[in-house]
Amino acid sequence: MDQFYLDNAALYQNLVKRLKPAPKAARPARESAEVPSPDMVVSARIRPLLNEDVAFGFPCALFPRASQPNVVDIHDLYNHPKGIPVLKSFFYEVDRLFGPDATSQEIYDSEVRDLVSFAWDGGIGTLFAYGQTGSGKTTTISGLEKLVVDWLVDSGRPSSRKIFISIIELAGNSSFDLLSGRKPNSILEDSFGVTQLAGIEEHQLIQGEREAAEDLVERAASFRRTAPTLKNEASSRSHSICRLRIQRGDEHGAGGGFLYLVDLAGSEAARDVATHGAERMREAREINISLSVLKDCIRGKAQADALVLSSRPKSKQKRPHIPFRQSALTKVLKHVFDPSASASKTKTVVVACVNPSLADVGPSKNTMRYAEMLRVPIPAAAAASGNQKAESNPTVPVRPSSRDLDPTAMFTPFQNRIRPGMVVGYNTGGAGSAQLAVILSPVNANGNVLSSQSVGDGARYLCAQVAPGTVSETYEVNLWQQIIVQVKSMEKEVIMGYDPGTRHYHIVG
C-alpha cells in the first residue's frame, strides 16, 4: 500500500488542493441541547511530519480546519478496481485539537493543569495517551509527567500535603514496578472488590527537590520494555501507569487525591507485525484487546455520569455495563471507572496521538474514530445546573479519621470518653494477643443495647472487629463480625484514617 501512495503522491496532492471540505452538518435539535461532559475531555495531537516521511515522498494527510476549531480532515487515496485512484475524505471532531507546532507546555496548560489541581483538592484525575505506535504518545506523556511533578514539588507553594509517586508497567497480565528495577508485583482484589498492587513501592516527592523528582520519572522510563516493529524501532510494548498519590495533612490517605498518567501501548494492525513472528502477533492481540476494554470502560463511565445528570426518571434508565475486570489495565484503574467504587469525583482527559503522513492514514483514522467514540454528551441544562444541584443536595461530611472532634479530648483518659466510632486496642487475655475494634454502642450484662453511655471498668460495649488488610499496614472494618468488649480490657485509643481511593484504613496515631 505504501508503494501505491508513493506512486500517486503527486495526484493525491492535486486532488487535495482542488477539494473543498464539506461543511459539518448541523446537529439535530435533540443533539443541539447536549454539550460535551466537562469531566471527560477528548483531545488529539498531530505529530510533526518526520524528515523520514518527507524524504520518502509521503505527503501530509491530516488537515485541521481553520474555520471550524477542533475539526480535522483526513484525506485517503482509494485504489479503485477500475485503476483510477479516488480521493476519500473523512472528518473528525474532538474537544481540543493540537497541531504539529503545539508544545507540551501548551497541552499542559490547556488539558492537564486543571486535572492536577483537581487531584490536589482530593479528586481522582486520569490522563491517557492513545495512538498508533510511533505517533508520539511516550513523548507526550514524558513531557507532561515532568511538568506535573515540577508543579507538585514547587517550593513556592507551601503546603502540608505529601506527594507519593509509583510507576508500574503492565505487559499482558503481568505487572512490574519500574522504580524498583522492574520488580514483579501482583494485581489482587481485596474483600471489598478494590484492586491492590501487592509489592509496589511508593517514593515520596520532597518539596523543592525538582531534580530528584524528574530523576525518578527518567529512571522508570529506562526500565520500560520496548521492541522493534514495522512502524517503530523502539515501540513500547506495554502500558505504563504513573500514579501520584496526594496525601492531605498528617493523616494517611485522609481526603487525599490521585492522579494517573497513563502511556498506553501502541495500537497496531495485525499486518504491521506479521513480519515479526508469533511473539509480536500475540503482543499486538493482547494490546488491542486491552485498548478495546479500556474504550468500553471510559465510555461506560461517561454514560453513567450522563445518566446521573439526565432529567429522565432513573427507574427507566438502564445503567451501562463497565467491564473493568476484562483486562489488567482496567483492573488497576477500577476505582477510576466503577461508579460504586469511586468515593471521590473523577475527571478524565484522553490525548489521541496521530501521524500526519499519508503512509499512516489508516491507523490515524482508527485513532480518531476511537477518540470520537469516547465523547459522550450530557444535557446542556444539566451541565449548567450541575453546581446548583450539588449545592441543593445535602451531603454527609466525611470524617478524615476516628480522632475526636474536640481538640481538648486528648487530655481526658479515653476510658472516660468512649463514643461510637472510636477505635480501641484491647487484650483478649493472652500474651501478644492485642486486637483492634470500633466502638458501636454500650450494652448491658445481657448484651442488650443501651441508650446512654456506660462508664466504669465493668462497662461493656458492642464493637466491630478490625482485621488486617491485604496490603501491608492497612486494615478493614468488619461490621458483621461483632464482639462485646469490657472497658477494663481496653488498653488504648487508636487513631485510624480512611483512604477513599483504596477503601482501606491506616493507623495514623
pLDDT per residue as tens digits for the range 407-462: 788 888 898 889 889 999 998 776 666 789 999 988 887 778 776 666 666 789 99
pLDDT of residue 309: 66
Q: How far is CA 458 from the centre of its chain?
A: 51
- Average pLDDT of the segment spanning 185-190: 78
Count CB neighbours of 65 within 10 A. 16
- Average pLDDT of the segment spanning 286-314: 79
pLDDT of residue 194: 66
Most confident of 304-308, 339-343, 408-412, 437-441: 437-441
- Average pLDDT of the segment spanning 272-276: 53
Give 53 or 256, the one with higher predicted confidence.
53
pLDDT of residue 5: 86
pLDDT of residue 242: 93
Q: Following DSSP, what letter does each residue of 412-474 receive, concatenated?
A: S-GGGS--TT-EEEEE-SSTT-EEEEEEEEEE-TTSPBPSS---STT-EEEEEEEEE-SSTT-
Count CB neighbours of 318 within 10 A. 7
Out of 18-32, 100-114, 405-419, 493-507, pick the least confident. 18-32
Give 40 or 224, the one with higher predicted confidence.
40
Q: Which residues, listed in sequence order, are joined to residue 40 by a DSSP beta bridge?
A: 348
